[in-house]
Amino acid sequence: MRRASTAVTGALLIGAIAGLTGCVPDDPAPAPSTTVVSPSATAPSAAATPSESAAPTPAAPASLPASCDDLGTAATREQTVGGLTAQHADGFVRPAPANATTALSCNWIQEEAAAVLLIVSTASDADVTAGVAGLAAQGYACQAAEDFGAQYCVKAGGTAETEDVVVARDGVWIYLETVNVNARAWLSEISSQIFG
């Protein structure tokens, strides 16, 4: 009888150990609680991140063209630069807001006879607004464009042969320079395409 109770006691101990072993996966539960402490410790910096990211560059509009071949309508694009040759467009330094990122740079030329340079940049709304305010010192005259609700700035002293234009709104800056090409209808399409 004593052996039987010892055997039963041994079986209960083994069952208890097995039961505890089965609980081992729950044992790491304190580890997640330690991990939970970690996010709560970093919660202030996580809260600071959205306020910090609110100040820098906003996301570019969804309609921002991805290619020079996507600018405006095909018909107006062909009419404006169809007779010109697309060239490498990097490295041009033109008026742009502080902290601007070039999203698209397009350049077309016809030897010395004609040229179109179009640069689309993005920056924070504050930098774009400050950039527009600084254009007057560079000889530009600005006004609100009625058709697409952006600031439309033209460099004073431009002629029918040459023109420098800036269109700016909602963190987007469009710079257009033309020589012997009338690109205003195309620019209006591009601006409406970007700003809606």
Same domain, 91 and 163: yes
pTM above the 0.85 mark? no
Give the pLDDT band (50/70/90) at residue 156: confident
In a domain, 100, yes or no: yes
pLDDT at 33 over 50: no
Same domain, 105 and 13: no
Q: What is the mean pLDDT of residues 81-87?
A: 94
Same domain, 73 and 161: yes
**CATH number, domain at 171?**
3.40.1000
Give the pLDDT band (50/70/90) at residue 103: very high
pLDDT at 41 over 60: no
Same domain, 47 and 74: no
Same domain, 111 and 84: yes
In a domain, 32, yes or no: yes
Give the pLDDT band (50/70/90) at residue 148: confident
In a domain, 173, yes or no: yes
In a domain, 63, yes or no: no
Q: Rounded to an integer, what distance in angstroms lies between the CA atom of residue 149 and that of residue 167?
A: 10
Among residues 12, 28, 54, which one ends one of the domains? 54
pLDDT at 122 over 60: yes
If you average pLDDT over every residue of the chain, what do you get?
A: 75
Are the C-beta atoms of 70 and 190 separated by less than 8 Å? no
Are the C-beta atoms of 105 and 131 separated by less than 8 Å? no
Same domain, 79 and 158: yes
Same domain, 13 and 88: no
**pLDDT (0 to 100) of residue 191:** 94
pLDDT at 20 over 60: no
**pLDDT (0 to 100) of residue 112:** 83
* Domain total in the chain: 2
In a domain, 62, yes or no: no
Helix, strand or coil for residue 160? coil
Domain, as residue range, for 30: 2-54
pLDDT at 9 over 90: no
Same domain, 73 and 47: no
Among residues 31, 54, 77, which one ends one of the domains? 54
Most confident of 7-11, 21-25, 131-135, 192-196: 131-135
In a domain, 26, yes or no: yes
Give the pLDDT band (50/70/90) at residue 130: very high
Q: What are 194's two structure tokens?
A: 């970007």
Same domain, 25 and 85: no
In a domain, 27, yes or no: yes
**pLDDT (0 to 100) of residue 17:** 33
Q: What is the per-residue DSSP string for 49-72?
A: HHHHHHSSPPPPPTT--SSGGGSS
Same domain, 88 and 175: yes
First to last CA, the chain: 92
Q: What is the mean pLDDT of residues 118-147?
A: 94
Same domain, 46 and 111: no
Same domain, 112 and 134: yes
